[in-house]
Amino acid sequence: MVLWYMALPHLTLADTTAIGFTGPIFVMIGAFLALGEKMYWERWLSAAIGFVGVLIVVGPKMNASGGLYELIMLGSAPLFAASALITKALTKRDKTEVIVVWQCITISLFTLPLAIPQWEWPTVGQWAIFLGSGVLGSVAHYCATSALRAADASATQGVKFLDLIWMTAMGFLVFGDTPTISTLIGGVVIAGATTWIARRETKRAP
């Protein structure tokens, strides 16, 4: 997370999005090496098609001008993947609620020392925003952890590319950002890949 925040101010949104979506690939590799999960070809194909969909959306806006910060952002991807793999391993022993609570506690403890030197007391409005973000983030972590408990880590990664569609929809509804043709085409590619792998996984499930 520290690497992600270090790089974010120095990269375009397109570069950030494209690099960030390498995360599922690292999760799938780690699931094979560390957790011994079977690597079905459909999962790799779905991830590849999903990533192509991302590039269709952000490719025209990428400029590769971030230099060192692009490498820093890329370095954050396998660390986020490692976090997901650790969570997957913990689901075999701990309840979902316990894992989510400890995630919140550890993130707070490790990031607090970095925040103190720049600390400014939030306003009432900012506290409300922080509260809303905390609730949404916790619900998201709960859902993600529940998914990792129910399925292989590699099987859940295709769905990650749908984040781009949700971000586009929220940008339109909240900020009035009109999706481009490339966004719509990329969204169709991502949705198609996600639907296809979901149907394949359903047939494979006992």
pLDDT tens per residue across all 206 residues of the chain: 788 888 878 877 667 777 777 888 888 888 888 888 888 888 888 888 888 888 887 777 666 666 788 788 888 888 989 999 999 999 999 999 999 999 889 988 988 888 888 888 989 999 999 999 999 989 999 999 999 998 888 888 878 778 878 877 887 888 787 777 887 888 788 888 888 877 777 776 55
Q: What pLDDT, on a 0 to 100 scale, did the predictor assign at position 206?
A: 54
By the 8 A CB rule, do 73 and 19 touch?
Answer: yes
Q: What is the pLDDT of residues 116-167, one digit of tens each?
A: 888 889 899 999 999 999 999 899 999 999 999 988 888 888 787 788 788 7
98 CB contacts (<8 Å, ≥6 apart)? none
**Cα 161 to Cα 49: distance, rounded to the nearest angstrom:** 10
Q: What pLDDT, on a 0 to 100 scale, did the predictor assign at position 66?
A: 62
Tokens of 103: 């995630």
DSSP letter at 47? H
**Cα 80 to Cα 197: distance, rounded to the nearest angstrom:** 23
Q: Dihedral (C-alpha) 3, 136, 130, 115: value to the nearest 10 degrees?
A: -20
Look up the pTM and report it: 0.77
**Cα 44 to Cα 28: distance, rounded to the nearest angstrom:** 8
